Amino acid sequence: MIVKQISIFLENRRGRLAEVTQLLGDHKINIRAISLADTSDFGIVRLIVNDTEKAYTVLKSAGLTVNKNDVIAVEIPDEPGGLATVLNVLKAAGLNVEYLYGFLEKKTDKAIIIFRFDDMNEAVRVLRESGISTISDQELSNL
């Protein structure tokens, strides 16, 4: 359920994201999902990749402020109301979403949503009890 995400602090300047993604590409690291939160001066890039450890090492040795964070990967049906069903469960439990981003699975009709909650432990418990389908690190890197 808990999977590792890579987050990178980047200055908001032309070409910076291209440089970083190129660096990952050069090291044969595949990006599964990406999200970018930004202000006018800087941004945080969050990534789900096929090899988190390698990506971390590559980015760290390039001198970037990079971290591995715990996030939760939830699998939902790719259909109207799919995300709302999950969010309603979380809402009922009083959980607050810090951020989320999603992507589609290639081989199935499912979508995967990456969540970060203010209370990760509670989120794990609620999701487990509600029977909502989640994805492991292993499954994620095999996608």
Partner 1 sequence: MKANIAQGFWDEKIECMDRKSMEALQTERLRDLVKRVYATVPFHQRRFAEHGVRPEDIKSLKDLARLPFMTKQDLRDTYPFGLFSRPMDEVVEIHSSSGTTGKPVVVGYTRNDLDLWATVMARTLRCGGVSEKDVVQNAYGYGLFTGGLGVHYGAQKIGASVVPISGGNSKRQIMIMQDFGTDALCCTPSYSLCLAEVAEEMGVDLRSLKLRVGFFGAEPWSESMRAEIEKKLGILALDIYGLTEIIGPGVASECPYRKGLHINEDHFLPEVIDSETGQVLPYGQEGELVITTLTKEAFPVIRFRTRDITVLDPEPCECGRTLVRMKRVTGRTDDMLIIRGVNVFPSQIEDVLVKIEGVAPHYLIVVDRKGTLDDIEIRVEVSEGNLADEVKKFEELERKIKNELESVLGISTKIKLVEPHAIERSMGKAVRVQDRRNLKED
Residue 23 binds to partner 1 (criterion: CB under 8 A): no
How many Å apart are CA 78 and CA 97, to the nearest integer? 20
Sign of the CA dihedral running 29, 67, 58, 43? positive
Q: Considering the complex, what minimum distance in angstroms separates the CB of residue 67 from partner 1?
A: 6
Q: Which of residues 43-82 bind partner 1 (CB under 8 A)?
A: 43-44, 46, 60, 63-65, 67, 69
- 3-state SS assignment for residue 124: helix
Q: Regarding beta strands 65-77 and 2-11, do their DSSP bridges make them parallel or antiparallel, or are they unpaired?
A: antiparallel
Residue 10 binds to partner 1 (criterion: CB under 8 A): yes
Query: With CB under 8 A as the contact rule, which of the stretches 32-40, 85-93, 100-108, 124-132 interacts with partner 1?
Result: 32-40
Residue 4 binds to partner 1 (criterion: CB under 8 A): no
Residue 17 binds to partner 1 (criterion: CB under 8 A): no
Give me the residue label for tokens 């450890």: 53
Phi, psi of 80 (to 5 degrees): -55, 135
Q: What is the binding site for partner 1 (CB under 8 A)?
A: 5, 7, 9-11, 37-39, 41-44, 46, 60, 63-65, 67, 69, 98-99, 116
